[in-house]
Amino acid sequence: MGVNFPLILVVGTFFTGAVWLLELFVLRPRRAELVELLSTKTGEVEGALEKAKREPLIVEYSISFFPVLAIVLVLRSFLFEPFQIPTGSMIPTLEVGDFILVNKYAYGLRLPVLGTKFLAVDEPRSGEVMVFIPPHEDEYFIKRVVGVPGDKVRYQDKTLYINNVAQAQEFVEQVPPIRPEYFVYEENLGGIGHLIQRNPHREPELMEWQVPEGHYFMMGDNRDNSSDSRVWGFVAEENIVGKAIAVWLHKDPGFKLPEISQNRWIQ
């Protein structure tokens, strides 16, 4: 993993908070005593009196940054977290360069960094788009929940079967219209309608899985160009980050300005 921002945020918040408490209960009373002592004297101690009144620089910065860091920590850990789409595995639902908002409390509140759930809210459902940490890499991934604990998942002829029931697909378009590179279908999974993309030139083998308790089976909507549970296995419940709910900004790669014209709810 790259920079561990959650860990940096937690450490920064606790450090500045500790300095603020130290200032409030230890340093400030001591300075007040020293100022009272020096105020009874004159002459050479005037400079020392002014120095004694001043807060140390680290205390001044800590008091300024602590409330900001604390607010960001609460919002990011328990409410919402921004996330950028780095790959095309969720095309056509999500494009490379989409900035999405992740609901952190949808599946329960967790301790920052540790990820331990301390308040249950709801469980992921088939068809929802979820952000998580996969078993093979310490990075955020985003895919669609295909199988929940206890489900039997089969992928045959580019159709999903959940507990031996085929999940409906309806043809939408082929792109480009002549000599198409991929087909777009609307799939209904768990009552959630969404678009998927299939490569007509790739024929996957029949694959089948049984989802164990406490785990989830994830797949990208770009079905023939996605590294997902078909490759690296199931996602453990403790590795869930949150539910992807909206695209709030988009920026194409390179020197392009961000735009809000593609803002939308995620289905």
The one-letter code for the residue type at 29 is P
- What is the Cα–Cα distance from 267 to 244, expressed in whole angstroms? 9
CB 85 within 8 A of CB 142: yes
Annotated catalytic residue within 89, 126, 226, 229? 89
3-class secondary structure per residue, 132-175 = ECCCCCCCCEEEEEEECCCCEEEEECCEEEECCEECCEEEEEEE
Annotated catalytic residue within 62, 143, 226, 243? 143
CA diameter of the chain: 93
User: Which among 267, 225, 1 has a CA at the least distance from the CA of 133?
Assistant: 1
Q: Quick one: DSSP state of residue 58?
A: H
- Catalytic annotation on 226? no
Start-to-end Cα distance in the chain: 28
- What is the Cα–Cα distance from 5 to 263, expressed in whole angstroms? 26
Distances from the Cα of 117 to the Cα of 113, 121, 180, angstroms: 11, 10, 46
Pair type for strands 141-147 and 215-219: antiparallel
Phi, psi of 177 (to 5 degrees): -60, -35
Phi, psi of 8 (to 5 degrees): -60, -40
How open is the CA angle 145-238-15, to the nearest 5 degrees?
Answer: 125
Task: Provide the annotated active-site residues.
Answer: 89, 143
